[in-house]
Amino acid sequence: MIPQFENLSDEERKLLYKTPVLISVLASCSYGQVNSTQKKDAMKLAHLRKFTAAPLLQPYYRELEKSFKEQFEEAEKMYFPFDDEKRNELKKEIARVNGIISKLETFYGEALLKSLERYAKHVKHSVHTVFQDIIFPIAYSKMNN
């Protein structure tokens, strides 16, 4: 177990390990389905994070990678068809993470939060291109909000 998580309940630990999965599902679901390119990118990023994250967070990413694919597929089924109601449920689940992170030692919690924010941004924009910004800036931004 990660020492920083010792004071958390089992449920809180599970949610922290599941957070990148939930972020990935939220970022990659659109038009009633999961974007396969973003799903693949999320899985690659989860794998790479165990090597590229700050040394303090590498044990966290190593642990979550063990079940990332299975958890992603489980969450994908749970939140399908990705309508407004399901997306709101997903957002509420992710929002619970802030309360859990606030229970962690400040330095670790801040590092984890920043890392998760970077992760979310990367997954969300994995299929976003400069071409879309130049040619379709308004339509694309409305489509992804």
SS3 105: coil
Question: pLDDT tens across 50-64, in order?
Answer: 677 889 999 998 898
Residue 32 has pLDDT above 50, yes or no: yes
**Residue type at 10?**
D
Widest CA span in the chain: 50
- What percent of the chain is modeled with pLDDT above 90? 39
Q: Which of 14, 33, 55, 26 is nearest to 119 (CA)?
A: 26
- Our count of domains for the chain comes to 1
What residues make up the domain containing 116?
3-143
- What percent of the chain is modeled with pLDDT above 70? 80
* Tokens (6 digits) for 109: 């919690």
73 vs 133, more confident: 73
Put simply, whether the predicted model's pTM sits higher than 0.75 gets the answer: yes
Asked if 28 and 35 count as a contact pair (C-beta separation under 8 A), the reply is yes
